[in-house]
Structure 1
Amino acid sequence: MNTELDRLRGEAAALQGVLDGGGAGKGKGGGVVVPPVIIPTTPKAPKTPKAPKAAAAYENKALDEAYKQLEHKKRMDEMTLESEQKTLEQIKAKHVKTAEERMEIEERLYDVRKAIGDRTLTNALDDLDKSKRLGKLTEEEEIARLKRIKKQYSDSAEERKQIDDMIFDAEIRRQEAIKKKIEEEKQLRKDTTDYVSQQLQAAYEDRLARDKLSAEDQHKLQDRLLNDQIYLNNNYLKKVLADNRYTAEEKKKIEREVTEAVRKQTNERLKLEREYQENLDKLLEEEKKKKIDNINNLSKGVQDALRAKYQEEKRVAEESIRDAQQANEEWKKSQLDAIKSGRASSAGATSGP
């Protein structure tokens, strides 16, 4: 707009010059009187008030010097995080005046406190890791310790998430350890049952090999073995069914196995009893027959003895008769010999002088 006004002023000045130049011939006629051009004037803009002189810049030389000394000691590694925190708190108390200064030092204190917390958290996690590698912690103790570390030392959401992830991993390992321990205990229970059963069998076999047992004692020993094994299996099954750490499928499988084993052992025991009874009956029958035979043999022996006695008495009697007859014959002969000898003596005496 100012440019347009300047242009109009220029045109008005030029016209005014023309008019001024033709003023001499006005009386002679022939000149054109041009009315004066009125040029609007532009109102003057109000004067801008002068800006006041700038105040002197704010300075806190004591605070700047304190910060300078603090940074120098940090670069020279002459200050720990704790001493830096203490120094900042002293600076805050002595030299901080404005809100901006207070904001700055609070930020510095926050950074130092966070660094201390990070260092403490790192140390706590390092100690935890060392204890784990040395085998000093169970999974449950590890989880409890991580929860304490999280509560005491974690400041940020990132740190809390880190520890939560570690707790989750420890919980997974704890669950796996529990599961492994349960499986080991299950296997130990089965192995113990099998081992005791084998020991019972071995003791039975050793007794048979080392001791001379009657049929009755052998039967009792074997029957006790089977009875103990049946009790052992039933007791194992009872404990399994009462233990909620076994799944339904595991219980069903073990129940089938144990029931089949007990069925076989029971049948073997019944078979043993039947065979023993049969052998006993056979022995009794043989014993009965033997007694009858003994009686018969005794009767026959008595008869033979009586017969032998009769024969012996008969023989003795016959020998006695024969001896008597022989003695009688000898006596008769001796008498005849004596008679003959007497007759001969008498005949000799008769024939003498």
Structure 2
Amino acid sequence: MNAFAYSRPADIDSVLTEATDPIATRFIAGGTNLLDLMKQQVEQPAKLVDINRLPLSAITELPNGGLRLGALVTNADTAYHPLVQGRYPLLAQTILAGASPQLRNKATNGGNLMQRTRCYYFYDVATPCNKRMPGSGCGALGGYNRVCGILGTSESCIATHPSDMCVALAALEAVVQVSGPHGERTIPMADFHRLPGNEPHRDNTLLPGELITAIDLPAQGFAQHYTYLKLRDRTSYAFALVSVAVGLELTDGLITQARLALGGVAHKPWRRPAAEAMLVGQPAEPETYRAVVQSLLAGSRGYDHNAFKIELAERAIVQALSQALNRSA
């Protein structure tokens, strides 16, 4: 691990002032991903700004009926919060499907959004990786790419985003609150993470020096018909090969609203609102679900070791929609 400077400001303005060189500075809260990256020499920041003293550790109700999740609330406290469990059980279930109890007790909501890919080549500094070292090439393209993406990939990168929580946030259409040198702004969850294109080193749309302060959930939580289906190599402490977050609203057996987000398949949580719209007004039954699969997975591309993910995703989407009828199975 490289030597670095360290500071621990007590307010947001001081934190932003400390990040005078956003390229060489990293904000740290739980550190469950960042410290691993530093130990592996993947990240070598010159300065760490500890944000744990900031007043961002509360979950509060919003006037519109939604919920604001402070960026420093731990994943565990979020998943077990009674308002989250009651109104947004999809989010609670998704968080508990990720990592381990020890990591969830330490990891924060803001940090969850910022975690980086677990592509093998990203972590191995002896191999080429455009995400780690722009212009060096993508080792995964011709290498062992079993965990890599099948949607939204590019010739520069086929890595996937690892978060479970972000898949539910995408399905719920959450909004990310940020503060930065130029003031405060909001970023819809759909726009927060990026596809790789020719700049895979840019994971998200944050501007230099910006800090996540909260995540806002809308009033609609799909508390009656929901599920998170996570398919992985083992049942705990493993990242998704394919995951599906589903929220449905039903009236007299017909679907009146639908949200679907996929994890483990792209550089960001994957949604296609046009595919979701195909479910509206249709009966909640397998034949209806199969009709949207091709739309949701249009353009998917498998590589040498991960082509199986396409069929796995097809089956997972149908299964998850079926599970959502009876809440979580």
Give the TM-score taking structure 1 as reference length: 0.15
Which of the pair is proportionally richer in helix?
A: 1
Which of the pair is proportionally richer in strand?
A: 2
Structure with more relative contact order (C-alpha pairs < 8 Å, separation 6 or more): 2
Between Structure 1 and Structure 2, whose CA radius of gyration is higher? 1
